[in-house]
Amino acid sequence: VVALSALSARAVAEPDHLIADFEGDTFAGWTVTGTAFGKGPIDVPLPLQQPVAGFEGARYVNSYHGTDKGQGTLTSPEFTITNNAISFLIGGGAHPGQTCINLLVNNKVVESATGDNDERLAWYTWDTKALVGKKAKIQMIDKETGQWGHINVDQIVQTDAPPVPALSTALLYQESYRPQFHFTAAKNWLNDPNGCVFYDGEYHLFFQHNPESVNWGNMTWGHAVSPDLVHWTQLPDALKPDKLGTMFSGSAVVDADNTSGFGHGNEKPLVAMYTAAGGTNPASKGQPFTQCIAFSNDKGRTWTKYAANPAIPHIAGENRDPKLIWHEATRKWIVALYLDGDQFALFGSPDLKKWTKLQQLGMPGCSECPDFFPLHLDGGAAKTKWIFTAANGHYLVGDFDGTIFTAEPGVQQADFGNSNYAVQTYSDIPAADGRRIQIGWMRDGKYPRMPFNQQMSFPAELQLKTTADGPRLFKQPIKEIETLHGKPSEWTDLKLNPGENPLAGLKGDCFHIKAEIEPGNATTVGFKIRGQQVVYRVADRKLESLGTAPLDLQNGRITLEILVDRTTIETFGNGGRVALSSVYLTKPEDQQLEVFADGGTAKIVSLSVFPVQSAWRSEPSALQK
Ligand code: FRU
């Protein structure tokens, strides 16, 4: 699956030219070497192969002949490139350069593609606009002899109108790099979570979405809802670019008392504030970045932009990312806004429409996507502190009197992973629940050949606890992960010697691991998860999980909680004292787990490994409160 952004339309489309449909019982005119491709296209299931689907007609090319061991090549006669694209169906192994289909011009590989470790064939397209008129060949090669050492190919065609990759709902959300319990857009790019708000039994997740491509652009608010922050249903896009700009990040609240006057009908109004990024679409040429509002009286299903937008005119630079909160004590709305450089501001309003600047504040090393919210210290109502976070999740702790936020010295860090960005907490979670739940964009992940790009973090609960260093945020995955738990494998009071691996029998791609470990005289203890280490270095007091966090032993022990999805590892140390939210790319077939101790004997005080089911293929189950 590829982005076809730039296929320029010709005045008159060139008709399709079929290169091969592999319907005959020989390779007619193609040159075969080796054994992998057999004697011709095949029409019967091959022995020992998983079912193959998605080819057209009766026959297709398959380089698996009872085994992955076969090697060889299959080369087309020379042809002239006539069209903007070459499209074909491909399935089988993902071994770039080894077992693949190549486009050769002057005997050099100019394009290449592989399967996706999936027997099903799907459309793939090469953009050949720049090659029209050139002589070319197509060559399939199969050098890989290990697992998935084969490809399936069918229906190679030169075309100006490439087939849209098949995304039947049966296959959607099952792709090999599709996160199974993290939110992704069904299709195309996403970045920041926006408008995180709970209303009438639904968590809303709006998100920076490019409806048109797997790359960033055309910023639009995508929209999804969930009863439990785990099982999501994507709805139509909520806010689309207009003459003030494309729709950059922002937030949403329930205007319970209809202070805005936007409410009518039976539902309470939801009000969103977003940045109109002036100048980022042709319609807004010459406009600055401003803050605008929109409202919905039908549970977020449809939105009306405020006629007198912007609500906050341009202040500085590319000021953006307004985060709203209701301040009950002074009965007004507050918005935290990013200004420019490392500068942020707070504004106040009685009605979400008219805003007065309250304060400007700096956060060295930080920018974008502020959030501002109170937390009870140590869970008790006796003491409340205010937290100001920036996009990277770093935060200030302080006090707020409704006008001025007075921060304690020092910018703090809660998450030390390689991918924790644009964090935002949920608004309007019922008081009886009382949680402060944060979700972020897991930036920079790689999703080869997927119809979507980028993902959200798993929602985490934030708590403020007294530590020797002062009050600090603790971050832990929300308990709703349990709705996806399978039957755990569990151990208690187990001695762990170097070279031993009690998890050797487990396999899978999604896990929730909970462990309490006493390193004893081991120098390192930890896990190897699908090839990736999560390791505690005892002498250094450091926890490494695609990032490094300081972590002390408590009574000679550490606790670890680890969420493993297809492209992410989120590790939480000592009850959330440190978190490491990280993206990684592993081979889909690498499904091994290991727990290890090196340099001495450790004790596993307790260890539970829960397989995690797909949120896309399970129903939300009633939560035990
Ligand atoms: C953060 C950010 C925001 C902006 C949005 C645009 O990732 O750069 O500051 O509003 O993304 O998509």
Would the CB of 208 count as within 6 Å of ligand 1? Answer: yes
- C-alpha of residue 219 to centroid of ligand 1, in Å: 9
Per-residue b/e over 505-530, b at no fewer than 16 CB within 10 Å?
A: ebeebbbbbbbbbbbbebbbbbbbbb
Kindly give the pairing relationship between strand 188-199 and strand 452-453.
parallel
Query: What is the chain's mean pLDDT, rounded?
Result: 93
Active-site position among 118, 192, 255, 321: 192
- C-alpha of residue 441 to centroid of ligand 1, in Å: 10
- C-alpha of residue 321 to centroid of ligand 1, in Å: 7
Query: How far apart are the C-alpha atoms of 127 and 3, rounded to whole Å?
Result: 10
Question: Given a cut of 60, is residue 71 above it in pLDDT?
Answer: yes
What tens digit of pLDDT does each residue of 480-513 get?
999 999 999 999 999 999 999 999 999 999 999 9
- C-alpha of residue 428 to centroid of ligand 1, in Å: 23
> At a CB cut-off of 8 Å and minimum separation 6, what does 256 contact?
268, 428
Measured CA distances, 81 to 38, 78, 306 (Å): 28, 10, 52
Contact 377, 367 (CB under 8 A): no
Structure tokens at 287: 């406009």
Residue 245: CB atoms within 10 A of its CB come to 25
Would the CB of 219 count as within 6 Å of ligand 1? Answer: yes
Query: How far apart are the C-alpha atoms of 15 and 125, rounded to whole Å?
Result: 16
- pLDDT band of residue 521 (cuts 50, 70, 90) is very high
What tens digit of pLDDT does each residue of 17-36 get?
999 999 999 999 999 999 99
Identify the pLDDT of residue 48: 63
Top mutation candidate among 291, 320, 424 for ligand 1, by most atoms within 8 Å of CB: 320
Residue in this structure with the two tokens 């409410």, named with its chain if needed: 263
Report, as an integer, the average pLDDT of 264-289.
97
- pLDDT band of residue 588 (cuts 50, 70, 90) is confident
What tens digit of pLDDT does each residue of 156-184 get?
999 998 876 544 455 678 888 999 999 99
Identify the pLDDT of residue 43: 84
Would the CB of 419 count as within 6 Å of ligand 1? Answer: no
Report the atom number in ligand 1 closest to the C-alpha of 192: 7
- pLDDT band of residue 346 (cuts 50, 70, 90) is very high
Would the CB of 218 count as within 6 Å of ligand 1? Answer: no
Question: What's the whole-model pTM score?
Answer: 0.77
- pLDDT band of residue 451 (cuts 50, 70, 90) is confident
Would the CB of 500 count as within 6 Å of ligand 1? Answer: no
Top mutation candidate among 188, 189, 190, 192 for ligand 1, by most atoms within 8 Å of CB: 192
Residues linked to residue 202 through DSSP beta bridges, in sequence order? 199
Residue 439 main-chain phi, psi, to 5 deg: -135, 150
Residue in this structure with the two tokens 């008709």, named with its chain if needed: 15
Would the CB of 249 count as within 6 Å of ligand 1? Answer: yes
User: If you count them, how many residues does the chain have?
Assistant: 625
Give the residue from 394, 393, 376, 395 showing the smallest Cα distance to 385. 376
Identify the pLDDT of residue 171: 67
Would the CB of 191 count as within 6 Å of ligand 1? Answer: yes
Identify the pLDDT of residue 625: 29
Give the side-chain half-sphere CA count within 13 A for 580. 26
Question: Given a cut of 90, is residue 611 above it in pLDDT?
Answer: yes
Residue in this structure with the two tokens 């008392």, named with its chain if needed: 257
What tens digit of pLDDT does each residue of 281-310 get?
999 999 999 999 999 999 999 999 999 999
Residue 156: CB atoms within 10 A of its CB come to 22
Residues linked to residue 474 through DSSP beta bridges, in sequence order? 463
Contact 256, 324 (CB under 8 A): no
* Active site (annotated) includes residue 399: no
Contact 371, 423 (CB under 8 A): yes
- C-alpha of residue 613 to centroid of ligand 1, in Å: 31
Contact 272, 304 (CB under 8 A): no
Report, as an integer, the average pLDDT of 414-442.
97
What tens digit of pLDDT does each residue of 528-582 get?
999 999 999 999 999 999 999 999 999 999 999 999 999 999 999 999 999 999 9
Report, as an integer, the average pLDDT of 315-335.
98
Burial of 412 per CB tally in 10 Å (0-12, 13-18, 19+): middle
* DSSP secondary structure letter of residue 265: S
Query: How far apart are the C-alpha atoms of 131 and 13, rounded to whole Å?
Result: 16
Would the CB of 323 count as within 6 Å of ligand 1? Answer: no
Long-range own/partner contacts, residues 433-438 (CB < 8 A, 24 or more apart): 435/461, 435/478, 436/373, 436/375, 436/461, 436/462, 436/463, 437/196, 437/229, 437/461, 437/462, 437/478, 438/371, 438/462, 438/475
Would the CB of 561 count as within 6 Å of ligand 1? Answer: no
Would the CB of 116 count as within 6 Å of ligand 1? Answer: no
Question: What is the Cα 24 distance to its own chain's centre?
Answer: 43
Question: Given a cut of 70, is residue 9 above it in pLDDT?
Answer: no
- pLDDT band of residue 446 (cuts 50, 70, 90) is very high
Contact 275, 249 (CB under 8 A): yes
HEC string of 170-234?
CCCCCCCCCCCCCCCCCCEEEEEEEEEEEECCEEEEEEEEECCCCCCCCCEEEEEEECCCCCCEE
Identify the pLDDT of residue 51: 72
* DSSP secondary structure letter of residue 245: B
- C-alpha of residue 226 to centroid of ligand 1, in Å: 23
Identify the pLDDT of residue 535: 98
Contact 421, 321 (CB under 8 A): no
Residue 214: CB atoms within 10 A of its CB come to 20
Number of helices followed by number of strands (H, E) in the chain? 0, 44
Identify the pLDDT of residue 338: 98
Top mutation candidate among 215, 248, 290 for ligand 1, by most atoms within 8 Å of CB: 248
- C-alpha of residue 582 to centroid of ligand 1, in Å: 19
Residue 21: CB atoms within 10 A of its CB come to 17
Query: How far apart are the C-alpha atoms of 13 and 24, rounded to whole Å?
Result: 29
- C-alpha of residue 192 to centroid of ligand 1, in Å: 6
Would the CB of 318 count as within 6 Å of ligand 1? Answer: no
